[in-house]
Amino acid sequence: MARYNFRAVEKKWQEIWENEEIFKTRNDFTKPKFYALVEFPYPSGEGLHVGHPRPYTALDVVARKRRLEGYNVLYPMGWDAFGLPTENYAIQTKIHPAVITERNINRFREQLKSLGFSFDWSREVNTTDPAYFKWTQWIFLKLFEKGLAYKKEMPINWCPRCKIGLANEEVVDGGCERCGHEVETKVKNQWMLKITAYAERLINDLDLVDYIERVKIQQRNWIGRSEGADVTFKIKDTEESLVVFTTRPDTLFGATYMVISPEHPVLERLKERITNLPDITAYQEQARRKSEFERSQLAREKTGVQVEGLKAINPVNGEEISIWVSDYVLMSYGTGAIMAVPGHDERDWEFAKKFGLPIIEVVAGGDVTEQAYTDTETGTMVNSGFLNGLDVQTAKAKITEWLREQGLGEPKVNYKLRDWVFSRQRYWGEPIPLVHCEKCGWVPVPEEELPVRLPQVTNYEPTDTGESPLAKIRHWVETTCPKCGGYAERETDTMPQWAGSSWYFMRYTDPHNDQALASKEALNYWLPVDWYNGGMEHTTLHLLYSRFWHKFLYDLGIVPGPEPYSKRTSHGMILGENNEKMSKSRGNVVNPDDVVAEYGADTMRLYEMFIGDFEKSVPWSTDGVRGCKRFLDRVWKLMEVVKPGDAYSPELEAKMHQTIKKVSQDYEGLKFNTAIAALMTLLNEINHVGSINEAEIKAFLILLNPVAPHITEEMWEKLGFEGMLNEQSWPTWDEEKTIEQTIEIGVQINGKVRGTITVNINDPQEAAKEKVMANEAIQKALDGKTIVKEIYVPGRIYNIVVK
RNA sequence: GCCGGGGUGGCGGAAUGGCAGACGCUACGGACUUAAAAUCCGUUGGGCUACGCGCCCGUGAGGGUUCGAGUCCCUCCCCCGGCACCA
């Protein structure tokens, strides 16, 4: 038997799969469908990383299994190709980003193909392709039409040295990722998407989907729903009032002052009445200069200034209370103003202590002179007029009702989720398809003129003002208004990388359609995605954004259901051999090309699936790779001991059924490591028996095929079996036959194993007991003891309690 | 601080409340070889031992429930991830 030549075999089958279009997905809408999706990569200049194939292999296993089970499977791949590294490289080298992108994509595609994934390459999508981003722009225009895209002054991260606006992910520890200079905030007029309008549905509809729990929890926390009430406080001697959001309206009698954010507009409106305006202005200035980083570092120590000349009225008791400005109150959450209840809120307590403000106890149970009492379960209301004696929950309901009757407040739900900052002042992104006309305002580019392409330029350097590099390309900027025909200017901001990835899974269903983002029939058939696997790092941004876009398109009647992904799972990272994150600077990067060249794609795939718990991080081990290679070599050698036979042999029958069950279930449950371990155990068993018959090896090869597709196809052919392996059916198991008739169980005395007996699975207790008592070791252990109790769990244990 | 997920051999990791350490790696011993690599066979949690009998200890720590706990309950420690003045 010739040694297994993985190089020749892998190349051979990859060519067959490609030439015969084995994994090409047909829009045959009569078959049951299965849509498997993995996050498409950003094609960086670094090439594929050994972490990429982990999720790709996992869903390739599932996709291949589903095909063998008779499903019409869609398992596509594409490129999330807009992005900063490419743009930065273009600035350095003066090479057009599109050229760099194409080069990188070619390299990625080649690397992925060498791993033998069953992607349908005819459906490849590329977010930077105008034929693709035409539809990204189209979706944006729909959002704009429905009032979900709006322009607003927003602070951005600004690096004064690079003169560039930075995305949040480019800010590392408060500094610029590229030069390390401290990042400032700069207010810019930005396009925003009103994702908050979908907050409630984004939370509630998590109940409709099968996501791993940690993903659901993280999304819920990120959206941050909280119930409470808006309460209106009049400002004395003015027509103005302050509305606050509170989750503790029950503590209203304990509100002894108010705090507003430094950016609160009332300060501007009432500046005539403020007697210490210079102090306020100075504080505002100081708060504005603080970077996000500083603000979080200084989070402990409270600062603030009293607004003199203004007093608020507590609506429940008419008390006059002071108003303060402090940056611990954020303009971006709630109303930018709070009622301070120092007795029952830690932040307010700290602030009150520092500035000597009154603290009133309104919920009994703690000692508010020592610390804020925040328990809402056990306290009783005191010093609270008509609320006295009630528990917190009842008081909340009662005061909320009272406020509503008095017209002083109403129940309110608030979210931590903010609207999505959608503008980037960059070149390498989808142009926002709007023009600004003096007369008509913001006007959408007509649909038939889409896509708005990026102009050809030679210089991608950003401007001094933080505007997009596009702003300098006057011939591109200057245009005519589609509405009035007058002079207008194009929007020069581009979209963030999250735009193209928010709907790519829809495009895969019908990727070459030039009439719509995809045909109605294709969307109705393929959506929702049946199984989407991706990184935890995308839980709060990509996953939420794409759910938002999908819901929006659902409302427009474009996609068939409310949720894009039926099931979401997540993989762990692959670390370097030294247990640290793989990176060039740490010098611990493993290149998949080297692994494929030395051990082959099947070994690479097998190892990545066997390496450990799929959901956890795990260090790479070159020795582990070799172990997987050895396993495949031993599988290859099975061909030397194949005997005829069209049914499982008595020696292996139970083991076969057990393994089919185990592997079938474990592939579905992300337990690839234990599925492979079961196949290894079976192989050991076969070698112990010394032979394998045709029925057995057929099943074995099909079970292994999703993980190691090349070697198993080759063996199938060499053994002269009919057709190709990928045309076969997934083996089934018979529950009855998984049960071993005779089994060895442990015998315990007082919970300690003292011996073993071999019993028939159907043996009654008396028969088992006979065998127990015949056992020498047990006899010895029982010598001189009195049996108190006996527990027999058939197939498990025989336990004797003695005194 | 809050919310998740975890602590099991030298390593990656297995274990519906029922013989802890499956499977793989490493290491060691043996076979084959002039030799090495590869391959094959064996051993591999710690300790004791009248070393092929058999005993004790052992799943982060301490308690508890149970005939029986890695698994369930309580208290605590440590590690990883996310959020972080969210009213």
pLDDT digits (tens, 9 = 90+) for A468-513: 889 889 999 999 999 999 999 999 999 999 999 999 999 999 999 9
Q: Average pLDDT, stretch A749-756?
A: 85
* Spatial distance between the Cα atoms of A15 and A12, rounded to a whole number of angstroms: 5
User: Within this chain, do residues A732 and A610 fall inside the same structural domain, yes or no?
Assistant: yes
Query: Residue A681, CA: closest nucleotide via C1'?
Result: B23
For tokens 């991260």, the residue is A157
* Spatial distance between the Cα atoms of A307 and A290, rounded to a whole number of angstroms: 21
Q: What's the CATH code of the domain at A506?
A: 3.40.50.620
Q: What's the CATH code of the domain at A629?
A: 1.10.730.10
Which two three-digit tokens encode residue A511? 């990727």
> Does A168 score more than 70 pLDDT?
no
**pLDDT: which is higher, A764 or A631:** A631
User: Within this chain, do residues A251 and A348 fall inside the same structural domain, yes or no?
Assistant: yes
User: Is residue A170 assigned to a domain?
Assistant: no
pLDDT score at A425: 87
User: Within this chain, do residues A712 and A753 fall inside the same structural domain, yes or no?
Assistant: no
pLDDT score at A316: 94
pLDDT score at A297: 58
User: Is residue A402 assigned to a domain?
Assistant: yes
Mean pLDDT is lowest, of A135-144, A296-305, A536-545, A549-558, for A296-305
User: Within this chain, do residues A746 and A767 fall inside the same structural domain, yes or no?
Assistant: yes
Q: Which of A544, A575, A606 is the last residue of a domain?
A: A575
pLDDT score at A295: 60
Among A734, A670, A672, residue whose Cα is nearest residue A703:
A672
Query: Is this complex scored with an ipTM above 0.85?
Result: yes
pLDDT score at A178: 65
User: Is residue A439 assigned to a domain?
Assistant: no
pLDDT score at A525: 97
**Residue nearest the C1' of B5 (CA based):** A214
- Specify whether the CB–CB gap between A538 and A500 falls below 8 A: no
User: Is residue A178 assigned to a domain?
Assistant: no
* Spatial distance between the Cα atoms of A569 and A210, rounded to a whole number of angstroms: 9
Among A494, A451, A449, A448, residue whose Cα is nearest residue A471:
A494
Å from the A220 CA to the B6 C1': 22
Tens of pLDDT, residue by residue over A361-409, are 999 988 889 889 988 888 899 999 999 999 999 999 999 999 999 999 9
Query: Residue A781, CA: closest nucleotide via C1'?
Result: B54
Show the domain range for A797: 740-802
Å from the A676 CA to the B52 C1': 34
Å from the A196 CA to the B3 C1': 22
User: Is residue A314 assigned to a domain?
Assistant: yes
- Number of H helices and E strands in chain A, helices first, is 27, 34
> Does A164 score more than 80 pLDDT?
no
Q: Which of A721, A737, A753 is the last residue of a domain?
A: A737
pLDDT score at A707: 98
Query: Residue A228, CA: closest nucleotide via C1'?
Result: B87
Q: List all nucleotides in chain B with at least one atom under 7 A from a protein Cβ.
A: 3-5, 11-16, 18-20, 22-26, 38-41, 53-56, 67-69, 80-87
Q: What's the CATH code of the domain at A366?
A: 3.90.740.10
What burial class does residue A23 get, using C-beta atoms within 10 Å of its C-beta: 0-12 exposed, 13-18 middle, 19+ buried? buried
CB burial readout A97-118, b (16+ within 10 A) else e: bbebbbebbebbbebbbbbbbb
Q: What's the CATH code of the domain at A798?
A: 3.10.20.590
Which amino acid is residue A600, in one-letter code? G
Å from the A435 CA to the B30 C1': 82
Q: Average pLDDT, stretch A540-561?
A: 96
User: Is residue A164 assigned to a domain?
Assistant: no
Query: Residue A618, CA: closest nucleotide via C1'?
Result: B12
Q: Average pLDDT, stretch A735-740?
A: 89
User: Within this chain, do residues A727 and A754 fall inside the same structural domain, yes or no?
Assistant: no
Which two three-digit tokens encode residue A54? 């982990």
User: Within this chain, do residues A247 and A283 fall inside the same structural domain, yes or no?
Assistant: yes
User: Within this chain, do residues A240 and A365 fall inside the same structural domain, yes or no?
Assistant: yes
Å from the A378 CA to the B74 C1': 21
* DSSP bridge pairs for A520: none
User: Is residue A266 assigned to a domain?
Assistant: yes
Which two three-digit tokens encode residue A107? 């390299």
User: Within this chain, do residues A661 and A637 fall inside the same structural domain, yes or no?
Assistant: yes
User: Is residue A433 assigned to a domain?
Assistant: no
**pLDDT: which is higher, A705 or A294:** A705
User: Within this chain, do residues A676 and A613 fall inside the same structural domain, yes or no?
Assistant: yes
> Does A545 score more than 80 pLDDT?
yes
User: Within this chain, do residues A506 and A557 fall inside the same structural domain, yes or no?
Assistant: yes
Provide the sign of the torsion angle of the four alpha carbons A107, A113, A117, A123, taken in this order.
Answer: positive
For tokens 């999508």, the residue is A125
User: Within this chain, do residues A249 and A281 fall inside the same structural domain, yes or no?
Assistant: yes
Q: Which of A415, A437, A461 is the last residue of a domain?
A: A415
- Specify whether the CB–CB gap between A762 and A710 falls below 8 A: no
Å from the A727 CA to the B3 C1': 47
Query: Residue A617, CA: closest nucleotide via C1'?
Result: B80
Among A762, A617, A710, residue whose Cα is nearest residue A113:
A710
Å from the A288 CA to the B35 C1': 77
For chain A, the domain total comes to 4
pLDDT score at A173: 63
User: Within this chain, do residues A665 and A708 fall inside the same structural domain, yes or no?
Assistant: yes
